[in-house]
Amino acid sequence: MIYAAVIGFGTVGSGVVDIIEQNQEQIRRAVPEGIYVKYILDIRDFPDSPYADRVVHDIETVVNDPEISIICETMGGKEPARTFSQMALEKGISVCTSNKELVAAFGPSLIRTAREHNCSYFFEASVGGGIPLIRPLLDCLAQEDVTSITGILNGTTNYILTKMDRDGEEYAPMLREAQKLGYAERNPDADVEGHDAGRKIAILSSLMCGKNVPYESIYVEGISGITAEDFLYAGAMGCSIRLLGVCRKTPDGLSVLTAPFLVKEGHPLYAVSDVFNGVVIHGNMVDDVMFYGRGAGKLPTGSAVVGDMITAAREKEAGHFTPVLWSEEAEPMQSFEKHACPFLVRISAGLKEKAKTAFSGHIEKILELKEHPQEFAVLTDIMTEKEFREAAESLEIHGRIRVLTQE
Amino acid sequence: MIYAAVIGFGTVGSGVVDIIEQNQEQIRRAVPEGIYVKYILDIRDFPDSPYADRVVHDIETVVNDPEISIICETMGGKEPARTFSQMALEKGISVCTSNKELVAAFGPSLIRTAREHNCSYFFEASVGGGIPLIRPLLDCLAQEDVTSITGILNGTTNYILTKMDRDGEEYAPMLREAQKLGYAERNPDADVEGHDAGRKIAILSSLMCGKNVPYESIYVEGISGITAEDFLYAGAMGCSIRLLGVCRKTPDGLSVLTAPFLVKEGHPLYAVSDVFNGVVIHGNMVDDVMFYGRGAGKLPTGSAVVGDMITAAREKEAGHFTPVLWSEEAEPMQSFEKHACPFLVRISAGLKEKAKTAFSGHIEKILELKEHPQEFAVLTDIMTEKEFREAAESLEIHGRIRVLTQE
């Protein structure tokens, strides 16, 4: 029997325990001895839980039990998750986590610690919830020169944007609805301001290049500035609006950002609606592949953690640990000023001539909506952030959204 | 250096060699020694190829060279591919293949031979071309009780159906167009009659249950009977028509078939158009996950073969071979008569009363199109194949298509 401990008995942690209990038969096909959760570490007690007798409060109990070979870290946050993970790895206990904040901040050093102590540090659940994504990228696509990753990585914001698109609603009431349904937190900033998606694209970018892309080096813009008018123009262009994490190889270094983008109908991400996530990986040989599914939730996210536990158990049994290529060395990044894409920019009707001058040579199309005679929009050709900012600064713009281009 | 041989230097085989040459830097991140193609086995010579000096004609040269540790079998067809694969595996040489015909027919015995001789038999490229699919199913979703797999598994037919849908065209001219573009063979039967998709769903079904689902036990229906009228009704229902491979767990055993289905807008497979493939896997914990990408082509399919070669090289280095769970034991199958789904059936206008009696208690909706007053269609509720056949046999039906229901 493989003995495991779950540290952090919240939504995902309790999902992990439920899955291990309910799907033991499936798990035993892959790990014939079976996996048993011996401890649940949490600061709380759970007297009504069927697992009440496994609850402990002291990390020492867990990491000093020589029977424990795998820990699921489902606490979230940097501390004490980092200290506990480090303690476990230093004892040769593999750690599987859903904690994107920790992975984005300290992934490379935790991976190094695991390698030094012959165990595994896995984090499939930290990006895309239940969607198999990190392992396919690292294993199945190891032969590819991956040149871009583009993903809808946050279900909360995708739900809000999808509803705004379908119902023509404004942002604020749709956020309230998402909160009512439990899709958004009471303090929704981590989701709606793009931080969650930003952490996830930082993780994917690092895995794409094998070096470190710190979250802090990424431009992050959320969806709280998106309006019902933006969707009218999007619709007129045959597009929807999605919050994307985008990572691209450029001759100047890696370009990584999180921001709302116009996505054209027909693009595989256009069809990713509601709380679903989808990630398109572009390789030089395989072209585009997309992975789609539930990016959050107790059981989907728990499933990804349990999948990692199975691989960790197999690696331990084989005594062979496939290295996760993510070094502490910083990946050279393109300056955000040089990021280039088309923009859709909304401008007061009175400034049309001025706008034509400001964007001269860059105007792809001018859009006017009958419903909104007080303004118009310019779709530009591909401009850098710097060029766009300089062109727009003399105008009082009502809003601007980047446009996703296909490779 | 890992020395490999490519047997069968056709489209996929030459893709494999090109990828290994061009992406050697990426391959070395995963396999630091690198992979080198030492032999290319084919009955032909390729005097103009840059690899002409590696071409050999005798399998003995390849399998008796103790340096060779991996073979890519990209010959297609059952023989001599099976004999050559068997010879290699018995010498402990791992085999990676794109040959769905061979895998569907002899997968379990080749997997057993590999296990007996401490090497790998991998076939990621046999289903879904370049899409990572088999490894995610076996590894990342090992903890799941997978209850269904539904896939667009053939790019040729998907191209034809997508064009018929968009342009309102008939089947025959769209087949000719696909042939002109090189998407369909001159003898298109393997694709359009569903055999190719049938082999692929047989492979996925076997991997889903771990036992054997012979291709011969599957009901297979192609797309040559689909008409422009069918698409008119589909459109009226907010659906398109897709050739699907469907595998479902039922209380009576596994239900597996390949046939055209109506797929509703909003279903993730609805957005899979043109030559692309997409596969939805439903697990009891993770819910639906979809994998999408290019299901055919020299480089995408070659990429999947090279991905398998990397895993085979890693397993060889570790001296540990993760078993592929696909035994020779036959999986109990549900009788096709009991397969159940809604049907859309087109009937002559004059038979309306008779049809109402025949389908009495099963009528969900009656559809009438202004353009086609000479007929109407009945959308039934969920009926078994037997029930449907008995209800329809007294009527001269113009056509019937199954309707995909979501779990």
Is B142 in contact with A27 (Cβ distance < 8 A)?
A: yes
Strands (E), A63-207: 68-73, 94-97, 121-122, 146-152
H-assigned helices in A269-376: 298-318, 352-358
Q: In what order do the strands lie in the sheet with B68-73?
A: B55-56, B35-41, B2-7, B68-73, B94-97, B121-122
A293: its two tokens: 């599914």
Q: What is the ipTM of this complex?
A: 0.96
Mean pLDDT of A340-348: 96
pLDDT tens for each residue of A225-258: 999 999 999 999 999 999 999 999 999 999 999 9
Contact between residue B198 and residue B215 where contact means Cβ atoms under 8 Å apart: yes
What pTM did the predictor assign?
0.97
CB B263 within 8 A of CB B246: no
A403 has a pLDDT exceeding 70: yes
Q: Predicted confidence band at A55 (pLDDT cuts at 50, 70, 90)?
A: very high
The amino acid at A304: A
Give B2→chain A minimum CA distance, Å: 15
CA angle B215, B220, B223 (to 5 degrees): 140
Amino acid A165 reads D
Closest residue in chain A to residue B146, using alpha carbons only: A26
- Is the Cβ pair A293, B290 closer than 8 Å? yes
Burial class, B32, CB count within 10 angstroms (exposed 0-12 / middle 13-18 / buried 19+)? exposed
Name the 3-class secondary structure at B167: helix
**Catalytic residue list contains B365:** no
pLDDT, one tens digit per residue, over A181-204 is 999 999 999 999 999 999 999 999
Label residue A371 by pLDDT band (50, 70, 90). confident
Please tell me the predicted confidence (pLDDT) of residue B323. Answer: 86
The residue among A325, A6, A3 whose CA lies nearest residue A139 is A325
Q: Are B264 and B283 within 8 A, CB to CB?
A: no
Q: Return the residue of A nearest to B208 by Cα.
A: A26
Q: Model confidence at A369, in pLDDT bands (50, 70, 90)?
A: very high
Contact list in A for residue B208 (CB cut-off 8 A) is none
Provide, as residue numbers in chain B, all residues whose Cβ is less than 8 Å from the Cβ of A286. 130, 293-294, 299-300, 303-304
Measured between beta carbons, the chain B residues lying within 8 angstroms of A24 are: none
DSSP state for residue A322 in the 8-state scheme: P
Across the interface, whether the CB atoms of B304 and A286 are under 8 A apart is answered yes
| Facing B294 at nearest CB: one of A266, A286, A310 | A286
* Catalytic residue (choose from A200, A211, A249, A316): A200
pLDDT in tens, A263-277: 999 999 999 999 999
CA distances from B48 to B44, B51, B52, B53, B55 (A): 12, 8, 7, 10, 11
- Which of A131-140, A317-326, A367-376 is modeled with the greatest confidence? A131-140
Task: Give the closest of A286, A310, A311 to B300, CB-based.
Answer: A286
What's the first-to-final CA gap in chain B, in angstroms?
48
Residue-range domains of chain A with CATH: 2-130+297-318 (3.40.50.720), 139-294 (3.30.360.10), 337-403 (3.30.70)
Q: How far is B391 from chain A (nearest CA, A)?
A: 37
Min Cα distance B290 → chain A (Å) is 5
**Which residues from chain A sit within 8 angstroms of residue B268, using beta carbons?**
271, 292
Q: What local confidence, expressed as pLDDT, does residue B87 receive?
A: 98
State how far the alpha carbon of B364 is from the alpha carbons of A392, A400, B264, in Å. Answer: 56, 47, 16
Residues in chain B: 407
Percent of chain A with pLDDT over 70: 100
Q: Which residues contact B331 (CB under 8 A, 6 or more apart)?
A: B205, B206, B209, B211, B212, B213, B253, B254
What single-letter amino acid sits at B327? S
Are the Cβ atoms of A307 and B143 closer than 8 angstroms?
yes
Spatial CB neighbours of A146, under 8 Å, sequence gap ≥ 6: A137, A208, A281, A282, A283, A284
pLDDT at A407: 60
pLDDT exceeds 70 at position A161? yes
Asked if B306's CB is within 8 angstroms of A143's CB, the reply is yes
Say whether B286 and A292 touch across the interface (CB within 8 A): no
Query: B34 near B24, Cβ under 8 Å?
Result: yes
Among A139, A292, A311, beta carbon nearest to B292: A292
Element (H, E) at B184: none
The one-character DSSP state at B138 is I
Cβ neighbours of A322 in B, within 8 Å: 314
In B, minimum Cα distance to A26 occurs at B143
How many other CB atoms sit within 10 Å of the CB of residue A295?
29
A322 contacts B142? CB cut-off 8 A: no
Using CA atoms, how far apart are residues B93 and B101, in angstroms rounded to an integer? 21
Minimal C-alpha gap between A141 and chain B (Å): 6
Contact A29 B131 (CB under 8 A): no
Tell me how many degrees the CA angle B344-B350-B353 measures, rounded to the nearest 5: 70
Q: How many CB pairs under 8 A join A and B?
A: 183
- Would you state the pLDDT for residue A276? 97
Q: pLDDT 10s per residue in chain B (407 long)?
A: 999 999 999 999 999 999 999 999 999 999 999 999 999 999 999 999 999 999 999 999 999 999 999 999 999 999 999 999 999 999 999 999 999 999 999 999 999 999 999 999 999 999 999 999 999 999 999 999 999 999 999 999 999 999 999 999 999 999 999 999 999 999 999 999 999 999 999 999 999 999 999 999 999 999 999 999 999 999 999 999 999 999 999 999 999 999 999 999 999 999 999 999 999 999 999 999 999 999 999 999 999 999 999 999 999 999 999 889 999 999 999 999 999 999 999 999 999 999 999 999 999 999 999 988 999 999 999 999 999 999 999 898 999 999 999 76
Task: Please state the rounded mean pLDDT for residues A344-363.
Answer: 95
Contact B253, B291 (CB under 8 A): no
Which among B302, B311, B318 is the nearest to A285, CB-wise? Answer: B302
| Distance in angstroms (rounded) separating the CA atoms of residues A106 and A292 | 27
Q: Which amino acid is at A56?
A: V
Residue A139 pLDDT exceeds 90: yes
| Lowest model confidence (mean pLDDT) among A110-124, A311-325, B242-256 | A311-325
B288 to A294: CB separation less than 8 angstroms, yes or no: yes
B100, B163, B200, B316: the catalytic one is B200
CB contact, 8 Å: A21 with chain B?
no
